[in-house]
Structure 1
Amino acid sequence: MSDTISSEPEPGLRERKKAATRQALHEAALRLAFEHGPENVTVEAIADEAGVSRRTFSNYFANKEEALFYGDLRRMRLLAGMIREQPAGSSPWQALTAAAEGFYRELGDLDPEWVARSRMVRRHPSLAAAQVQTFTALEREISAEVALRLGAGDPLGVRAQLIAATFLAVLRVSLNVWLEHRPDVYYWDIARDSLADAGSGFE
């Protein structure tokens, strides 16, 4: 799975350097987790692997879990950006589904390293909890986008939060099913059908 999709303007040199450092820490965390198991990885080891100080690590991530899941967070933020770009006349669920389809089709096949890491996450409850936290952060962002489309019809924001939570749950469960049972098919084929079923109550 690539991190190359972006509709954001080209960042300046300072921002590119910061992004490169953050990515280097993320990749170092992944390498060490694969080699030694995530429970045996320390922040100090990640910093050493990336060639930076412990203090530099702390400038980018609060803990090793954040470093491990930075790729997921970045990809999901790109998805949130694609949701914002959907036509104003689309219903919330239509916008979410269309954005997801464009996002996953542009990403193409999920790369083996990403798949291996996802399976690793499932074997470690502490990492699974961190993954849920990552999705929770994105749920708030997506909920805000949905709320804009619902407008005055959802004054307390309950429906927006429900739609966003359901959308992300469908993507997460579809991924789990794909990892466990259907690696022979394209992930989006499972997610698309699941989104269609779940979205029937929101149209």
Structure 2
Amino acid sequence: MECVTAPTPGLRDQKKAATRDALGVAAVTLAKSRGLDAVTADAIAAEAGVSTRTFHNYFANKEEAVLHHIEVSALEWFDMLRTRPAGEPIWASLRHVAVSIVSDPDRDLTEAFAAAQLIESTPSVVAKKLEVHHSLVRVLGEAIAERTGTDIDRDLYPNLLQSAVGNAVTAALNIWTNDSEGALSPKQLVEDAFDQLQAGLPDPREQNTN
């Protein structure tokens, strides 16, 4: 209940969040241009316009800074899901959240995918990503369990659903980034992904014969 009734963050907290975000963006930007091995905490701090000491107040190392955007994105899913109407079917809620995110005109999906590719290609970051991923998957799974009256530790449903939806959105965006002709939008692909999931992933060959 405390989370629900908590006041809006004050100016100091907002500044802290902005500094953390700026450091995360700076880390990704430098890693993309130089390679993560060549990036230092000093360079990240300078890029963000703060001191190295400030950097270490927020992150233990550069890998944590690079992973920051993943945490922000995952927690955004959680926050948006928690604000959906209580009586709304879980599939409708998750579809709304996913479509809203990929349709956001202020969100640079190309940049986000480039950052994801950077992480996947850097062994030291991948190792830390697994730790972060585990905790964030748990958070989203608990939100789904809460809305569906299931138990994240005992029931398959919330675990399967968060995994299926997460991978479906990733698959849709992978197709979008590889579509040189730009025939389909991220929104169209994500909508199609949800349609297929909710239909039980029917065999396309069977559909074509009807």
Give TM class, smaller chain: 0.7 to 0.9
Are 1:100 and 2:98 an aligned pair? yes
Distance 1:135 1:190, change over 3 A: farther
Q: Is the 8 A contact 1:119 1:179 kept in 2?
A: no
How many residues of Structure 1 are paired with residues of Structure 2 in the alignment? 195
Q: Return the letter of the residue paired with 1:186.
A: S
Normalised by the size of structure 1, how large is the TM-score?
0.77
Deviations 1:55-109 (A, max 9, x none): 4323212332221232232133222211112222223222211221233323466
SS in 2 for 1:90: coil
Q: What is the match of residue 193 of structure 1?
A: 192
The gaps in structure 2 that reach 5 residues or longer are: 1-5, 202-210
Q: Percent identity?
A: 33
Normalised by the size of structure 2, how large is the TM-score?
0.75
Distance 1:59 1:189 in 2: 41
Q: How does 1:1-203 map to 2 (within 5 A)?
A: 10-107=8-105, 110=108, 112-127=110-125, 130-131=128-129, 133-151=131-149, 156-181=154-179, 184=182, 185-201=184-200
The gaps in structure 1 that reach 5 residues or longer are: 1-7
Q: CA deviation at 1:170?
A: 1.4
Q: CA deviation at 1:140?
A: 1.2
Q: Return the letter of the residue paired with 1:25.
A: L
Task: Point out which structure has higher relative CO (alpha carbons under 8 A, 6+ apart).
Answer: 1
What is the RMSD of the two structures over their aligned residues, measured on CA atoms? Answer: 3.1
Q: Is the 8 A contact 1:178 1:187 kept in 2?
A: yes
Distance 2:176 2:83 in 1: 28
Q: Return the letter of the residue paired with 1:76.
A: A
Q: Is the 8 A contact 1:73 1:134 kept in 2?
A: yes
Distance 2:10 2:107 in 1: 30
